[in-house]
Structure 1
Amino acid sequence: MNKRHLWLVVVLAALLGLLLLIARPAAETPAGAGSAPPAAEAPRIASLAALDSQAPPRRALDIQRWQTAEGARVLFVEARELPMFDLRLTFAAGSSQDAGQAGLALLTNAMLNEGVDGLDASAIAAGFEGLGARFGNGAYRDMAVASLRSLSAAEQRTPALALFARVVGAPSFPADALARVQNQILAGLEQQKQNPGKLASRALFRQLYGEHPYASPSDGTERSIPTLQQAQLRAFHARAYAAGNAVIALVGDLSRGEAEAIAAQLSAALPRGPALPPPPAPEAPAAQREHIEFPSQQTHLMLAQLGIERRDPDYAALYVGNQILGGGGFGTRLMEEVREKRGLTYGIYSAFTPMQVAGPFMINVQTRAELGEATLELVRQLVREFVASGPSEAELARAKRELAGSFPLSTASNADIVAQLGAIGFYDLPSTALEDFMNQVQQLDVAQVRAAMARHLRDDAFVVVSAGPTVDQQPLPPPLERPAAQPAGIPEH
């Protein structure tokens, strides 16, 4: 017998042994012992059929809320399953508060863990690491965040919280670290020049928001970043990282008393000050088109118009409508018509991004440069048809089923929950916001989704930015009954 045949015999023998091992416990379990099914009963996997029309169970959240003496809003969920806790501080300290100094919010947030009195960035990192704790931070258009994950035992929790309070409440903004971080941001801005999607996105926000604070790029500009100094960062921190401007979200192995003590400690460590007002409501721009010349084989198309703020009563209906139009991946209208039937792109996506005030509704697609105009017109047509007719009953039923199935993932871990709490507190939503959303989704009908989409979208109101080469355009290929072959070339990002 050669080696190949010998190897085959060994594999078959191993498989047979495994099958016998799997079968033996069921066969040897005495009748009535435990939960083993009778021999005549169908296999357990058949029970999955019962879930076809039912949503999986969702994790019930007992959200406790209060306010600290300094004015910080606190949301807490006790979760004893793991010996750890997650903490997230959310501030109205995004780029919408830059006040003409583009990149100030980002740079201030990035410098939080670069130094405190007596500790540099390396010592801070070593301090968290030595305690098994993890620090995180980030800044966006509406908000800035700082987070901590730590073991809940007092010997780790106490020093981790003390270090976190110093980092967030009293950063020193050392000059050498500031110069280094500025250079890192400038290097990132330089890299963006080679990314047509980034170029298109920055131009799109300028066209969509004009003079509004949302038009300012969160990561600043090549001109603004080098001009920002320590004094400006300190002033921004004192104003935007004040306790009255903070939401403290806590989830984990803590009692209510321990959570109150942590919130009080952090609130007292922050600068004193009130909540900052949200930016003004933006004005809808006129429909317009901008093209950015870029040497590539593909054209990056971005379409946008003003959407909604987070507290808009149409939020659930628009979320569902967008899932059907282009937000749900494969099976959406846009993906089916643009990718599957015509092979024009690897992917096309749409999204409402609700913010403190009206955030954008955006559609993003890359296609072959010679088909850019035809693809743009097809997208406009698909939006026009969807706004006019809304989803079908089958599409709505599928979207509801998919959302019911995926919704439990939004609270699957403590990190997920603390992020949800931060958003609930920041946008001043009710504690029942998650359950309210799912209840609203399940009660929607086709007419309600169609009406909501029609109230907020117009096919002739898009601001459009394209980035790619100027080439002769070709007509749209006819749709195919079967999925088309994928377009040649590597997608550009």
Structure 2
Amino acid sequence: MTERSPLRYGLLGLALLLLIGALVWLAQRAPQTAAPTTSAPAGAPRLESLAGINGKPAHRALDIQSWRTAEGAKVLFVEARQLPMFDLRLTFAAGSSQDGGTPGLALLTNAMLNEGVPGKDTTAIAEGFEGLGAQFGNGAYRDMALASLRSLSDPDKREPALQLFRQVVGQPTFPEDALVRIKNQLLAGFELQKQNPGKLASLELNRQLFGQHPYAHPSDGDAQSIPGITRAQLAAFHAKAYAAGNAVIALVGDLSRAEAEALAAQVSAALPAGPALAKPAQPEAPKPGQKHIEYPSAQTHLMLAQLGIARDDPDYAALYLGNQILGGGGFGTRLMEEVREKRGLTYGIYSTFTPMQVRGPFMINLQTRADYSAGALELVQKLVRDFLAQGPSQEELDKAKREVAGSFPLSTASNADIVGQLGAIGFYDLPLNHLELFLQQVQALTVEQVRTAMARHIDPDGFVIVSAGPTVAQQPLPPPTGAAKQPVTAVPEH
């Protein structure tokens, strides 16, 4: 140690004491100091305390602006200056319901978008986005197909990212080697599905529920359809289904209205020219019944379904709230309380409406011990019947309303959340104030309105039922208890 070390440590100690003293002084003074009024730009969102919102859940108010491009694409835009970035999502009516007689065509087309463009292969495309700090995303489902971009809003990063994005969505080359690779991945996935009783039951349920309707076949195709799909088919599907008139452009982020209009115009012009595709026809109600898939396992998968509603159905809010009480809200729902908590028959049981362009499914799903499967199915059917006859209690309704209101801010918590909401609003042609309107409708619902809506759309005798598991002798169900029971199996199968 040098002779100057004690002096140095002494000075450091004095400095530390002075710093602590200053922090204490600032902490005591802060509550008495008015917040500066020029620290945030006009119109910027303010943080609010719990006391300041008077017990009402705060949520992000959205100023949604909408217009159409010259090519016919619908645009929805929310300006959000908090972060120096933007999110762009294209939603096309290009899901598997548009496959025609070629299951898997929509999925393969979407999966191949970023596999090649003129002058660039999939590696160059990935490196191009990565080098700009941008993210590309895509996906295909039953109704829709998506392509998305997240990028910094600085023009030096934004413009090259958008240029590459426009090539990917507007000029995919569908290289043969990539097509072979993705086909092989899908075919390997089909083999794995044979070892998943839940997936087998789900595929069969859709076939039984939708019959000859386009929703019946799996979105990723099957082992018979995938091998024969050609590059020419992909190009033709892209030209038709990825047309500007068939697109919704959702934009959220650090952009002015003028910048958003210019960006949307460039993206729209890069897409093939063409109109919106027609919705699928309404599916016909299936004949109720039960089908069993024999599978060697300790548990049986049980799936019950019937046709539900389209996304624009006026009863959407009432059915959403009713289903939250019946089985869509996790723990505390009727189905979870009676099937899991009181009897320990399952790790989880869930019900859900899946509204689509036309009537989608209402479904109940659970796994239970194989020798309890018949009793569990009977119990579920009874619980549904009782709920439709009696409706929820006022206590259940009030609790569900609080949960919906409390979780509602999460629907717009981030720019990614907002761009997803905009895409759905545009795709399903919902009013621009849909989010506010939905929350108002939910809070105004009565017990009788919920009961009536659920009874109008669910037939307790109308379920298509599919089970997957072993055929074994059945046991009577254990009696219900007032306390929660442990589920009867150790590990759930997935």
Show CA shifts across 1:131-162 (max 9, x none).
00000000000000000000000000000000
CA contact (8 A) 1:424 1:433 kept: yes
> 1:474 maps to which residue?
475
Shift, 1:82, TM fit: 0.2
SS in 2 for 1:257: helix
Shift, 1:33, TM fit: 4.8
SS in 2 for 1:211: coil
CA contact (8 A) 1:55 1:401 kept: no
> 2:350 maps to which residue?
349
Aligned residues: 462
Alignment of 1:230-245 (within 5 A): 230-245=231-246
Show CA shifts across 1:177-218 (max 9, x none).
000010111111111111111111100000000000000110
- The question of 1:226 aligning with 2:227 is answered yes
Residues in 1 aligned to 2:414 and 2:156: alpha-carbon distance in whole angstroms: 24
Alignment of 1:389-404 (within 5 A): 389-404=390-405
SS in 1 for 2:203: helix
Shift, 1:55, TM fit: 2.8
Shift, 1:484, TM fit: 0.6
SS in 2 for 1:279: coil
> 2:312 maps to which residue?
311
Residues in 2 aligned to 1:298 and 1:343: alpha-carbon distance in whole angstroms: 14
> 1:82 maps to which residue?
83
SS in 1 for 2:264: helix
Residues in 2 aligned to 1:388 and 1:209: alpha-carbon distance in whole angstroms: 27
> 1:160 maps to which residue?
161
Shift, 1:487, TM fit: 2.3
CA contact (8 A) 1:134 1:148 kept: yes
> 1:194 maps to which residue?
195
> 2:272 maps to which residue?
271
Show CA shifts across 1:377-405 (max 9, x none).
00000000001111000000000001000
- The question of 1:320 aligning with 2:321 is answered yes
Residues in 2 aligned to 1:55 and 1:382: alpha-carbon distance in whole angstroms: 33
CA contact (8 A) 1:53 1:401 kept: no
Residues in 2 aligned to 1:99 and 1:268: alpha-carbon distance in whole angstroms: 27
SS in 2 for 1:428: coil
> 1:405 maps to which residue?
406
Alignment of 1:36-185 (within 5 A): 54-185=55-186
Amino acid at match of 2:75: V
CA contact (8 A) 1:307 1:358 kept: yes
Amino acid at match of 2:141: Y
Residues in 1 aligned to 2:158 and 2:335: alpha-carbon distance in whole angstroms: 49
Shift, 1:32, TM fit: 3.7
> CA distance change for structure 1 residues 169 and 474 in 2, over 3 Å: closer, same or farther?
same
> 1:284 maps to which residue?
285
> 1:449 maps to which residue?
450
Residues in 2 aligned to 1:456 and 1:243: alpha-carbon distance in whole angstroms: 35
Residues in 2 aligned to 1:290 and 1:415: alpha-carbon distance in whole angstroms: 41
> 2:210 maps to which residue?
209
Provide the aligned C-alpha RMSD in A.
1.8
Amino acid at match of 1:69: A
Residues in 2 aligned to 1:153 and 1:78: alpha-carbon distance in whole angstroms: 15
Residues in 2 aligned to 1:391 and 1:286: alpha-carbon distance in whole angstroms: 28
SS in 2 for 1:171: coil
SS in 2 for 1:319: helix
> 1:331 maps to which residue?
332
Amino acid at match of 1:370: D
CA contact (8 A) 1:109 1:144 kept: yes
> CA distance change for structure 1 residues 321 and 31 in 2, over 3 Å: closer, same or farther?
closer
Residues in 2 aligned to 1:416 and 1:254: alpha-carbon distance in whole angstroms: 17
Shift, 1:54, TM fit: 3.0
Shift, 1:51, TM fit: 8.8
Shift, 1:486, TM fit: 2.7
Show CA shifts across 1:10-51 (max 9, x none).
xxxxxxxxxx99x9679855884569xxxxxxxxxxx99869
CA contact (8 A) 1:113 1:167 kept: yes
> CA distance change for structure 1 residues 31 and 111 in 2, over 3 Å: closer, same or farther?
closer
Residues in 2 aligned to 1:274 and 1:51: alpha-carbon distance in whole angstroms: 49
Q: TM-score, normalised to structure 1's length?
A: 0.91
Higher mean alpha-carbon deviation, 162-171 vs 479-488, is at 479-488
Amino acid at match of 1:417: I
Alignment of 1:11-22 (within 5 A): none
CA contact (8 A) 1:88 1:249 kept: yes
Residues in 2 aligned to 1:382 and 1:405: alpha-carbon distance in whole angstroms: 27
SS in 2 for 1:75: strand
Shift, 1:351, TM fit: 0.3
> 2:257 maps to which residue?
256
> 1:372 maps to which residue?
373
Residues in 2 aligned to 1:367 and 1:30: alpha-carbon distance in whole angstroms: 59
Show CA shifts across 1:293-350 (max 9, x none).
1111000111000000000000000000000000000000000000000000000000
* Structure 2 residue runs without a partner (length 5+): 1-19, 36-47
> 1:16 maps to which residue?
none
CA contact (8 A) 1:137 1:146 kept: yes
> CA distance change for structure 1 residues 29 and 428 in 2, over 3 Å: closer, same or farther?
same
> CA distance change for structure 1 residues 265 and 431 in 2, over 3 Å: closer, same or farther?
same
> CA distance change for structure 1 residues 486 and 34 in 2, over 3 Å: closer, same or farther?
farther
Show CA shifts across 1:53-87 (max 9, x none).
83311101000000001100000000000000000
> CA distance change for structure 1 residues 482 and 249 in 2, over 3 Å: closer, same or farther?
same
Show CA shifts across 1:358-387 (max 9, x none).
000000100000000100000000000001
> 2:39 maps to which residue?
none
Amino acid at match of 1:253: D
CA contact (8 A) 1:138 1:146 kept: yes
CA contact (8 A) 1:244 1:275 kept: yes
SS in 2 for 1:464: strand
SS in 2 for 1:208: helix
Shift, 1:168, TM fit: 0.4
Residues in 2 aligned to 1:344 and 1:53: alpha-carbon distance in whole angstroms: 42
Show CA shifts across 1:208-253 (max 9, x none).
0000000011010001010101011001000000000000000000
